[in-house]
Amino acid sequence: MADELLWKFLTLNDHNSIHGHGAQARSGGGAMHIALGVDSTRFPVRAFLGVPPGQDTHVVPAVRCLVGRSQASLRLSGRTRGTRRAEWIIQDQRRNRHPAWDQSVGFPTAFVPKDRPIVMLLRVGNDYLAHWVPESGVRALPTSLAKALLAREKGVVPLQRAWTTALRQMAGQSRVAALGAVGATSPAPTFNPSDPTDGRRKILAEVVRRQGQQQFRKALLAAYAGRCAITGTPIEVILEAAHITPYLGPRTNTLANGLLLRADIHTLFDLGLIAVDPTTRRIRVAARLRGTKYEALRGRRLRRPDLAGNRPSRDALKSHFDDSSVE
């Protein structure tokens, strides 16, 4: 099955619905969802999702964000309402909003008619990725992708690898900008120097969370002799357990799916700005990192554990490499 891209320009009604401001179901509307549209030859939603014949509900588990490791399931419905043809919707996007469409990654809370959000689902092999772009950003995308998106309000087309790379780069830039904006506008927390215990506890909890699940991290520290697999850094407190392919429960906490990485390298690895060539084991770096200290990592060979059974899976490295933005 060929990789494909599904997109939908959101209308004002769509925007109200995703934020829970649409009409309630009993009044003929239905809030907290994203309306994709009626299945048709030009918009084959069922085939894109792999919905079995005769089934009018569907769950896509573990839909990842195009950038980062966040993921969530999507519940869809294609039920007919009265005399209307069945319209496929992504359900409950207020209380269970997919992280790819969250305010923290720049998704707008106010609707701007001249800069509508475009929600996207990418199917790559058996995996699904979620993303969005503003209409104003379309012309910065590859010409072939821009033409496809601007040709009609919604559609399903074959996905080109160059499109995934371009979308990932744009998503990374938008994510950084959104995080900066949130940080700039968030009110400063009240500081109480006489009671630092709670703050210290939260800091330690955050460090543990970033470092990864402890048993997984301990195994990686032992396998890599306490050194970052890319930089060789031996400072244990800043080394983190990185998943090569996304975390999908305890079964993915294996040495074959892990790398011990310095905290900043882990972030860049998750964003697809640093990757490992699965054939040569050489480090590849995205164009966005040109002129930074990270450019010096290009061409460096990945460090591997001495024991063959502890080494990262070539298939996992290839999966990450194919989804990355590296040159």
pLDDT, one tens digit per residue, over 116-169 is: 999 999 999 889 999 999 998 898 888 999 999 999 999 999 999 889 888 887
318's CB contacts (< 8 A; 6+ apart) are 278
More confident residue, 116 or 84: 116
**Helix %, strand %, coil % of the chain (to 5):** 40, 20, 40
Distance in angstroms (rounded) separating the CA atoms of residues 259 and 212: 11
Read out DSSP for 9-63? Answer: E--HHHHHHHTT-SPPGGGT---S-EEEEE--SSS-HHHHHTPPTT--EEEEEEE
Question: Under DSSP, is residue 257 helix (H, G, I), strand (E, B) or coil?
Answer: helix
SS3 per residue for 78-100: CCCCCCCCCEEEECCCCCCCCHH
Predicted confidence band of residue 84 (pLDDT cuts 50, 70, 90): low
More confident residue, 233 or 200: 233
Q: What is the mean pLDDT of the chain?
A: 81
Residue 124, beta-bridge partner list: 127
Which ranges of the chain does DSSP label H, i.e. alpha helix? 12-18, 45-49, 143-151, 161-185, 197-211, 214-223, 263-270, 314-323
240, 261 in Cβ contact below 8 A?
yes
Phi/psi for 125 (5° steps) reads 65, -125
Residue 64, beta-bridge partner list: 71, 129
Q: What is the pLDDT of residue 186?
A: 41
The answer on pLDDT for 212 being more than 70 is no
For residue 225, the 8-state DSSP code is: T
Burial of 194 (0-12, 13-18, 19+ CB in 10 A): exposed
Burial of 32 (0-12, 13-18, 19+ CB in 10 A): buried
Phi/psi for 72 (5° steps) reads -165, 155
Q: What is the pLDDT of residue 252?
A: 63
Distance in angstroms (rounded) separating the CA atoms of residues 66 and 169: 10
The percentage of residues in the chain with a pLDDT greater than 90, rounded to a whole number, is: 37
For residue 101, the 8-state DSSP code is: G
62, 248 in Cβ contact below 8 A?
yes
For residue 154, the 8-state DSSP code is: E
The answer on pLDDT for 8 being more than 80 is yes
298's CB contacts (< 8 A; 6+ apart) are 283, 284, 285
Residue 8, beta-bridge partner list: 119, 154
Q: What is the pLDDT of residue 53?
A: 85
Structure tokens at 45: 């939603």
89, 194 in Cβ contact below 8 A?
no
pLDDT, one tens digit per residue, over 173-198 is: 554 444 444 334 444 444 445 555 55
The answer on pLDDT for 22 being more than 60 is no
Among 77-81, 200-204, 291-295, the minimum mean pLDDT is found in 200-204
pLDDT, one tens digit per residue, over 34-58 is: 889 888 888 999 999 999 888 888 9
Please give the model's pTM, rounded to 2 decimal places.
0.55
pLDDT, one tens digit per residue, over 302-320 is: 999 999 999 999 988 998 8
